[in-house]
A = this chain, B = another copy of it.
């Protein structure tokens, strides 16, 4: 294991980035100067940034550095797709405490590069520095779109159909699963210590929780995929959403954003919310309401979008997209219709990153 200070900032950056080859013609100059230089003569430029703090946004007992790098990139790329745009460049800043080694950062970059390669995104800059307290990550992603292609949150109209890609709640269930296994593990360690059972303690060092039958939940939590495929499908089908965003804080919270910014109401149907079989089983096991998990769970990184009612047949024909309700006039409120036809006002119970206890 190599101490980071040994390489120094410039040595480390060089070590991590010297194999990066520029893929986009819009990237004029990448890493190596005060700024990266881009050129977008015919397109509008989209830019988004996210900060990820150890302990708040990720727990390195659950996720390894490679998955973390992959996820950090996908999550930002997802924001570009959510505007119906194409991701092109990415900047990555990391602050690392002394417990991180060069190999750890290499792993992070492996994951980051894998995600960037998947979407043909150029890593063009960033900052690498130290922290006294764990790992902090900040990613900025840049994309492009024709002016008329960009889809904001504010374009939803009365009678528009509300659609989501993929399924919801699985990433949150994956997190619950990881947290449960962590608790079980520490309980076993505690017990073994109390009983002074050195053999059990030794065995626990190589403890591997059994996740069989729950692989999808883990994958959704640890290896989310930005839905560029859905954006491409919509384009092929000739559908231009009227409003769109990605679901990072839970369907409920995101739908409220669209309704607020579009000055409209909505009606969505519990029975239409796409939920995977593993999500339902896990919710059952944990005695949680699976709809609540899907509505408020967060980290799904699926796309939530609205389309004109005239696109109904096209949407029905699409793979991986589910019609969950429709937009209404604002006076009808923002409602969830349950399986037994009761109406509930949507509330943003999504994860509040400023009050970590708040979740669901």
Residue pair A9, B48 in contact (C-beta under 8 Å): no
**Interface extent on A, as a size class?**
35 or more
Q: For the complex formed, measure the closest distance between the CB of A71 and the CB atoms of chain B, giving whole angstroms.
A: 15
Contact of A127 among B49, B128, B153, B356 (CB under 8 A): B49
Residues of chain B lying within 8 A (CB to CB) of residue A142: 47
Flag the segment in A52-60, A175-183, A184-192, A335-343 that touches B.
A52-60
Contact with B along A8-40 (1 / 0, CB 8 A): 110010000000000000001100111111111
Residue pair A138, B36 in contact (C-beta under 8 Å): no
Contact of A138 among B12, B138, B147 (CB under 8 A): B138
Query: Does A246 sit at the interface, judged by CB under 8 A?
Result: yes
Query: Does A83 sit at the interface, judged by CB under 8 A?
Result: yes
Query: Does A164 sit at the interface, judged by CB under 8 A?
Result: no
Query: Does A133 sit at the interface, judged by CB under 8 A?
Result: yes
Residue pair B34, A38 in contact (C-beta under 8 Å): no
Residues of chain B lying within 8 A (CB to CB) of residue A233: none
Contact of A46 among B36, B133, B153 (CB under 8 A): B36
Among A89, A133, A354, find the residue whose CB has the most chain B CB atoms closer than 10 A: A354
Asked if A49 meets B95 with Cβ closer than 8 Å, knowing A85-B35, A354-B128, the reply is no
Residues of chain B lying within 8 A (CB to CB) of residue A201: none
Q: How far is the CA of A132 from the CA of B352 in the complex (A)?
A: 14
Residue pair A93, B131 in contact (C-beta under 8 Å): no
Interface residues of A in 99-151 (CB under 8 A from B): 124-134, 136, 138, 140, 142-143, 147, 150
Residue pair A51, B127 in contact (C-beta under 8 Å): yes
Residue pair A34, B83 in contact (C-beta under 8 Å): yes
Asked if A354 meets B51 with Cβ closer than 8 Å, knowing A37-B44, A45-B37, A82-B34, the reply is no
Query: Does A5 sit at the interface, judged by CB under 8 A?
Result: yes
Residue pair A129, B354 in contact (C-beta under 8 Å): yes
Query: Does A266 sit at the interface, judged by CB under 8 A?
Result: no
Residue pair A138, B51 in contact (C-beta under 8 Å): yes
Closest to A143 in B: B35
Residue pair B56, A131 in contact (C-beta under 8 Å): yes
Query: Does A245 sit at the interface, judged by CB under 8 A?
Result: yes
Residues of chain B lying within 8 A (CB to CB) of residue A54: 132
Query: Does A4 sit at the interface, judged by CB under 8 A?
Result: yes
Residue pair A41, B38 in contact (C-beta under 8 Å): no
Residue pair B91, A129 in contact (C-beta under 8 Å): no
Closest to A94 in B: B51
Q: How far is the CA of A44 from the CA of B27 in the complex (A)?
A: 10
Q: How far is the CA of A123 from the CA of B264 in the complex (A)?
A: 28
Residue pair B47, A38 in contact (C-beta under 8 Å): yes
Asked if A130 meets B56 with Cβ closer than 8 Å, knowing A40-B40, A136-B95, A140-B140, the reply is yes
Residue pairs across A and B with Cβ atoms less than 8 A apart, 30 shown, are A5-B355, A5-B358, A8-B352, A33-B245, A34-B48, A34-B80, A34-B83, A35-B79, A36-B46, A36-B47, A37-B44, A37-B150, A38-B47, A40-B45, A47-B89, A47-B124, A50-B93, A50-B127, A51-B93, A51-B129, A53-B131, A53-B136, A55-B133, A128-B353, A130-B354, A130-B356, A132-B133, A132-B134, A136-B136, A140-B140
20 further A-B pairs in the complex, CB-CB below 8 A; given A39-B147, A41-B41: A9-B354, A33-B83, A34-B48, A34-B82, A34-B245, A34-B246, A35-B80, A35-B82, A35-B85, A36-B46, A37-B45, A41-B42, A47-B125, A47-B140, A49-B138, A51-B136, A53-B129, A53-B130, A54-B132, A130-B353
